Each structure stands twice: as C-alpha cells, then as structure tokens.
Structure 1
C-alpha cells in the first residue's frame, strides 16, 4: 500500500471497499455515495471523540450540515479500496464548525474527492440554532486543527 499524501496531518480515517450497489449507470461510484461516505467518517470521528448519536439525543443538540462542497476529481470502481479522511479545520466555539474530507484510492494513492462541509449546532427538538453545549466544546475542541502554525 502506498503512503497516502493527506492534505492535513493526522486524519481520522475510515476504509471502505466500493460495492456493486455503489455503482451507477455510468459504471463508476455514484456521486451521492461519496457524500454518504463523508457522513460515515464524520460520525465515526464524532463517536471516537465521545460524541455519538446517544449523546446528541441526550443533550438535545446536533451538528447539522448547512453547506457542503465536493470536488469530484477521479472516479472509483467496484472493488476499489478507499481511505476516507476527515479533519475539523475550523470552528467558532459557539455555533459552527467546518470539516474537510479527502477520499483516496489506496492502490495508487490518488485523491478522488475533496470536500468541505459546514455545520451549525441545532436543538434537535426544535431545529433551531443553539450554542454548543460544554460536552461538544470538550469533545470537538481538542480535535480542531491549528492551521495557523
């Protein structure tokens, strides 16, 4: 396996294999599947930070997607092994944060997708924006990359 050239240091990584059900009529991975993989790695990262769905429900808070930008650079095909990396690259410590994503084909190290997703903290019961609870600050805060240094 080649060394992966990640865009940022120390990504949280999820590995997947492209399944037949991921392939569309153009015989490559459907674009929506890449978005689902980004969601899966984001949840995996949140869970690793101690912020799983049960925690979100208990706190009546969630980080909800408010904008997603995806650059599809190359296609993947059935059987390809992929590494999906994510980083929290920005946040205001009050309401919002941003994640970056990179999907790499493991066999040759080629980056297939780069993404940026913006999230806002909402109250689950009302859907309204709310300040980050202390548990989110304690969990997500240490994982935010310091891109200034």
Structure 2
C-alpha cells in the first residue's frame, strides 16, 4: 500500500457488531479507540510500555487530537491502521500520525494527528522526556520522516 509516510507500524482492525452505529457504519468514537490501541502497540514495539511510563513517572499525553473522517466503514470490513511518530523536539513534544485504509481497494478512510506532550504522571505537569523516551521514540521519528534514509 502507498502510505502517507515510510515505514508504518500497522495494526489490522475490523469493525465488529458493537462498533456499528445507528447510521449502519463504524461509529467515529471507534476510530479514536483504534488509534489509541495502535499508539500503544507501536510504543510497545519501540520498547516502552505502560509499566515503563509508571516506573519513570512520565507519559506522552495527548494535548490535541484531530481526525479527518473521509469514508465510512462497515461491519466486517478488513482495514489496516498505520501510525508513525512524525515530529519530536527532543524535549517535551512529539507528533503522531494515523492513516486507516480499506484492504479491499486501498482507499484511505481516516487520517488522524495527535500533538503529544511529555508529562510527569504524579502531577500532570509538562516535564522533559527522559532518556528512555528519547532513545525509543526519536529514531522512529527519523525513520518516518525519511531523515534516516537521507
């Protein structure tokens, strides 16, 4: 598939009966839940889990989430959700992008973007990313933006 960015982390998803709303398509809130699942799965693949966040008393919190719902999806439709870390200042902030495509025709049905900020879990206040975050996340930013290939 032709993705928006190189080297996607992908998660297959399929709308289930409980995901379908009164308009007979996948409810918009389901896409948000899937994005959260993909974000955590990508973080785990990069080596950081919720237990690591708790141990470090740091987390990447969503400061802003934007979603463009481009096409509907229906019960049982095979979909691929991809995510990338596309920006990071190496201090407090990162950006995560999402793209959801139908497997049958490759059509993009959703694009999303999160602005993330590193917080201290105990206080909820912004704090610098610890070295473990930088070591895990910043190489993924470079890979997604092509900087590692240049």
- If the length of structure 1 is used for normalisation, what is the TM-score? 0.95
Indicate the residue corresponding to 2:112 in structure 1: 115
How far does the alpha carbon of each residue in 1:90-130 deviate from its partner, in whole angstroms, 9 at most, with x for none?
01000000011000011111100001110000001110100
Shift of 1:147: 5.2
How much has 1:5 moved relative to structure 2? 1.6
SS of alignment partner, residue 145 of structure 2: coil
How large is the Cα RMSD of the aligned pairs?
1.0
How big is the shift at 1:131?
0.3
Unpaired runs of 5+ residues, structure 2, are none
- The answer to whether the 8 A contact 1:86-1:102 is kept is yes
1:84–1:104 Cα contact (<8 Å) kept: yes
Q: Distance in 2 between matches of 1:97 and 1:60?
A: 18
Q: Distance in 1 between matches of 2:88 and 2:17?
A: 37
Structure 1 spans left out of the alignment, 5+ residues: none
How far the C-alpha of 1:16 sits from its partner, in A, is: 1.0
Structure 2 equivalent of residue 103 of structure 1: 100
Deviations 1:28-77 (A, max 9, x none): 00001001111111100000011110000100000000001110000000
The aligned length equals 146
Give 1:26's match in structure 2, choosing from 10, 23, 28.
23
> Deviation at 1:146?
2.9
User: Is contact 2:101-2:109 (8 Å) kept?
Assistant: yes
Counting only pairs closer than 5 Å after superposition, residues 1-149 of structure 1 correspond to structure 2 as 4-144=1-141, 145-146=144-145
